[in-house]
Structure formats: structure tokens, C-alpha cells
A and B are shown apart, each in its own frame.
Chain A
Amino acid sequence: MLHERSEESLVSALRSRDEAAYHYAVEHYTGIMLATARAMLDKASAEDVVQDAWVSVMHAIDGFESRSSLKSWLCRITANKARNHLRKHKRESPQDDFSALESDLESRFSPDGRWRNPFHGFEASSPVEQLEGRILDDCLQKHLGDMPGDQSAALMLTQQSSMSKEEVASVLSVSAGNVRVMIHRARQRLLLMVERLRETGEC
């Protein structure tokens, strides 16, 4: 049975065009590929990109060298396709800003590095309980969508999968240090979002 197969035997079955192996792989890896694409694209486009990625996989599997894991190779193909899709639809904003803090947060410190306008926690109950679920969800969607694609992809991939920072870095073709910054920046944005939503009720 195909339930617990080693990556090596899976790859060689994929190379020999074994249909059951492809079905297994589709079942097994589509989730993480979808999460990769979804971090940059709407649902329908993400699905198109993933479908397209599987076609490329069939063409390219012979050239897959097991230098990276199958999972990160699949995600890299997906991320490249998603980026191309974004480029085509002219939505990608260049991200070469690798400072550690979001500018909204940066301005809340005085020059000596002390809080000027400190962050006031979420008190006892968690934000999830305080805010109506749907409003929060919509707002979260919006903010994830507004982030530079790579930033939300870095966050989603680290959160969702057991991928190491190094693997995520290879998927997104950046350095592991950059992945750390992207994740930290993405979390700050969400934190600021929740804060604003709670204080003003506006997303």
C-alpha cells in the first residue's frame, strides 16, 4: 500500500509515471502547495496555479535532484508559478525592505529605543474571543492579501507545515535570515491589525 512510502521510492514511482503514485502525491502534497499559492493569490487563481504546477511536475520530475526535499521542490515550483501569475496581473510590489520592524511600529519608539506609544496587550481574553469571528476573518484575509506575497507565504508555510526556515527560504529563493525577518514583519502587521480592529472597530 501507499500509505507510508519513503520519499525515495515515491520519487522513483513518479519518475516511472505510476498513476497510483501521482494520486498519492496529489493527495499528500496538494495542501501545502495550495497554502503556498494561496498566500499570494485568491482561491480560484491558487487552484489554477497548483493544477498547472502538477503538469510541470510531470514534465520536470526526471530533472528533480534530491538536493531538496520533494515537498520544498513542489512548493518552489508552485511559488514560482504564483509569482509569475502575480507579475502578469501586476500586483506584486517589490520587497527589498528587510528591516526588522514595520514602519507603523518603528514610529512608536523614541530615538533611544524606548516605547513612546506602547502596545497595550489584549487583556485577559484572546482577540479571537473578543471579536466576532467573521469580521476578524475578513480583516485577516484582507491583511494577508495586502502583504507582499513572499511575506505572507513565508508566514503561512512556517505556520502550516513542518518546514524549517531553511526549506521555506529555498522555496521562496531568499536567505533564511530574510525568511526570519519576513515572518516577524508579517506577525507585526497582524498584531497591529488586531490592535486597530479592537480599538476602532475598523479593519
Chain B
Amino acid sequence: MLSCKQATSLASDYLEDELPFLQRLGMRIHLARCSHCAEFLSGLREANELVYEQAGAAARPDPDFLNRLRSSVSAHLQKDKSMTDPLEPGAEASNEPLIAGVDDPVDERVRRIFDDIREKEGFVPNLFRAYAHQPDVLEYNWAREKSLLYGGILDESFKSAIVVVVSSDNHCDYCVHHHRAALLSSGFSCAEIEMLVSDPENTRFSDREKALLALARQANLDPHRPADLLLARVRAEGASDAEIIEAMSVMELYSSWNKFLDVMRIPLESDVC
């Protein structure tokens, strides 16, 4: 025989006809004899109906909101599409770099910069070998990388994470590859790196870093979308102006390199592959 307390505990499942036969029978017998529990059950049923209405209302989106969603979805698709449109007739798909990189620089300044790069990175990436055709351009591009990625105030791995996310949104394999490697060597697993791109909120980074990453990511993907909310979140997490500028600059530097690398078809270094 069920006690009132047991009957009360089973009431919800009984309402939904989810009890096994014997328990169901036990409930029926109990309810036939116990007016308190019968009242409890009908009260539960009524409480339930209240929610029904409430849930229905919550699930009816405002027409304005639906419109906003539709245009946001369309804007994102448009952006994706412009990257995958078929080639114009006459254009040939090729993997050959447009301009070969500088292997053996004669220019003294270029040599010095290459030495500096080698000291920091262990080798001279093909990106800088391409820039080396124009020493001024090489100089300031390397200066940006050196000051942003090897200096600055944000954690180095975190900056590589920004690079991986931004470059993978921009489909630049070259940058993704280099900075994945950087993350792997600082102890990240492949699964964590995947997570970084698919669900960055579930990674080991701090709330402040996740907020900065979300800001940088939207800025790259959708620069015309107002960033006020994301910025408010970044500030609420305690990021300083300097940190915001640094994170945004990493995004800015790599989103421009992404384009340069892809258009120039700069290949990954063979010893890296």
C-alpha cells in the first residue's frame, strides 16, 4: 500500500501515464481512498495548465525578432558564399605561389631581419620570405608580429587561440596550421583546439579571455554588427583598454595576413608539414 508521501512523489509520472502497471494500479487504489492525495493530483494538473500557457507565450517569437534573425543569418551566409563562389571563367585554380619567396637575401637589412625571425621562430616562414621582396614591408610586418605575439600583455597561447579562431573563420590554412602547432606545443590537445573553433565558451581560457575572443571573432566575421554588448561583457570581465586593443590588433593583423597568404597562395614550409 502506498503512503501519501509516496503517492505524492509519483503524482507527476502518474499524470503523464508513465508509471509501470503495478505502481499505476497502486496509485488508483490510493487515490480512490485518499481525498487529500486526489486533491493534490488535481492541483498539480491545474498548476500544469498554467505553465502550458506560459510556455506557449515564451515560444512565440516577436515578428521583429524573427526579421532580425533572418537578416543576421542571410548576412552570415552572404559572407560565406562570397568566399566559395565558383571561379570566373578563364581563371585557373592552382596551388603554385604567385611569387616565389626570397630564399637567400642579398640585402643586408633583410638578412638582419631574417636572423631576428629565426631567433624567435626557429625558421623563416614563407610569409616573411614573400614580404622580403620589399624590405620596408617586411620590416614593419615582422615588427608587428614581434611586438604583438612575442611581447604585449596578453598570454601568448591565448593570442595563438585568437589567431586560430580568426584564421579558421577566414579559411586560411597557413595561419591555422602555424598557430595550432603553437597551441599543441604549449600543451593543448587536438580536441581542445577543435572546441576553440566550434564552442569557444567551453575551453580552458578565463572568462575575460573568452569575452575578448568573442569580441575579436565577431569583429572579424561581421565588422558592421554593433559590438557594444560584447564590449560591455569584456569590460564586465575586467579587461583593460590595453588588453582590448591588443586582442583586436591580433585579429586585425591576422585577418589581413589571411587575405595576403591566400591570394598569394603562399605554401606551408615543407619542414613544418
- Chain A residues contacting B65 (CB-CB under 8 Å) are 30, 47
**B265, chain A: closest CB distance, angstroms:** 24
Is A195 part of the contact surface with B, judged by Cβ < 8 Å? yes
- Chain A residues contacting B4 (CB-CB under 8 Å) are 109, 113-115
For A106, the closest partner residue in chain B by CB is B5
Is B141 part of the contact surface with A, judged by Cβ < 8 Å? no
Is B59 part of the contact surface with A, judged by Cβ < 8 Å? yes
A159 touches B52 (CB 8 A): yes
Residue from A105, A121, A183 having most chain B Cβ neighbours under 10 A: A121
**Do A113 and B61 form a contact, CB below 8 Å, given A56-B199, A180-B18, A191-B43?**
no
Is B233 part of the contact surface with A, judged by Cβ < 8 Å? yes
Q: How far, in whole Å, are A100 and B76 apart by their CA atoms in the complex?
A: 46
A-contact bits for B27-55, CB 8 A (1 contact / 0 none):
00000000011011011101111111011
B12 touches A109 (CB 8 A): no
A-contact bits for B41-84, CB 8 A (1 contact / 0 none):
01110111111101110111100011011101110110011001
B76 touches A122 (CB 8 A): no
Name B81's contact: one of A17, A30, A120, A159 (CB within 8 Å).
Answer: A17
**A97, chain B: closest CB distance, angstroms:** 14
Is A170 part of the contact surface with B, judged by Cβ < 8 Å? no
B-contact bits for A152-186, CB 8 A (1 contact / 0 none):
00011001110001000000000000001001101
Name B39's contact: one of A88, A101, A105, A119 (CB within 8 Å).
Answer: A119
Is A94 part of the contact surface with B, judged by Cβ < 8 Å? no
B61 touches A31 (CB 8 A): yes
**Do A23 and B70 form a contact, CB below 8 Å, given A63-B198, A127-B50, A183-B12?**
yes
B39 touches A120 (CB 8 A): yes
Q: Which of A73-132 contact B (CB under 8 A)?
A: 80-81, 84, 88, 100-101, 105, 109, 112-115, 118-122, 126-128
Is A71 part of the contact surface with B, judged by Cβ < 8 Å? no
Q: Which of A2-27 contact B (CB under 8 A)?
A: 17, 19, 22-23, 26-27
- A/B pair count, beta carbons within 8 Å: 168
- Chain A residues contacting B76 (CB-CB under 8 Å) are 55, 58
Number of interface residues of B (CB under 8 A): 54
- Chain B residues contacting A184 (CB-CB under 8 Å) are 9, 11-13
Is A146 part of the contact surface with B, judged by Cβ < 8 Å? no
B39 touches A60 (CB 8 A): no
Residue from B50, B80, B84 having most chain A Cβ neighbours under 10 A: B50
Name A50's contact: one of B47, B54, B69 (CB within 8 Å).
Answer: B69
- Chain A residues contacting B68 (CB-CB under 8 Å) are 51
Name A88's contact: one of B40, B49, B55, B233 (CB within 8 Å).
Answer: B233
Name A59's contact: one of B11, B54, B198 (CB within 8 Å).
Answer: B198
B-contact bits for A13-53, CB 8 A (1 contact / 0 none):
00001010011001100111011001100000011101100
A101 touches B40 (CB 8 A): no
Q: How far, in whole Å, are A19 and B43 apart by their CA atoms in the complex?
A: 47
A121 touches B39 (CB 8 A): yes
B66 touches A27 (CB 8 A): yes
Q: How far, in whole Å, are A56 and B73 apart by their CA atoms in the complex?
A: 11
**B30, chain A: closest CB distance, angstroms:** 11
B51 touches A54 (CB 8 A): no
Q: How far, in whole Å, are A30 and B6 apart by their CA atoms in the complex?
A: 39
**Do A51 and B72 form a contact, CB below 8 Å, given A113-B5, A156-B55, A190-B50?**
yes
Q: How far, in whole Å, are A30 and B67 apart by their CA atoms in the complex?
A: 11
For B11, the closest partner residue in chain A by CB is A184
B77 touches A17 (CB 8 A): yes
**Do A136 and B58 form a contact, CB below 8 Å, given A22-B73, A58-B76?**
no
**Do A187 and B47 form a contact, CB below 8 Å, given A17-B81, A39-B58?**
yes
Is B3 part of the contact surface with A, judged by Cβ < 8 Å? yes
Chain B residues with CB under 8 Å of chain A are 3-6, 8-9, 11-13, 18, 36-37, 39-40, 42-44, 46-52, 54-56, 58-61, 65-66, 68-70, 72-74, 76-77, 80-81, 84, 197-199, 201-202, 207, 229, 233, 236-237
Ranked nearest first, the 3 interchain pairs of A and B with the lowest CB-CB distance are A113-B3, A121-B39, A184-B12
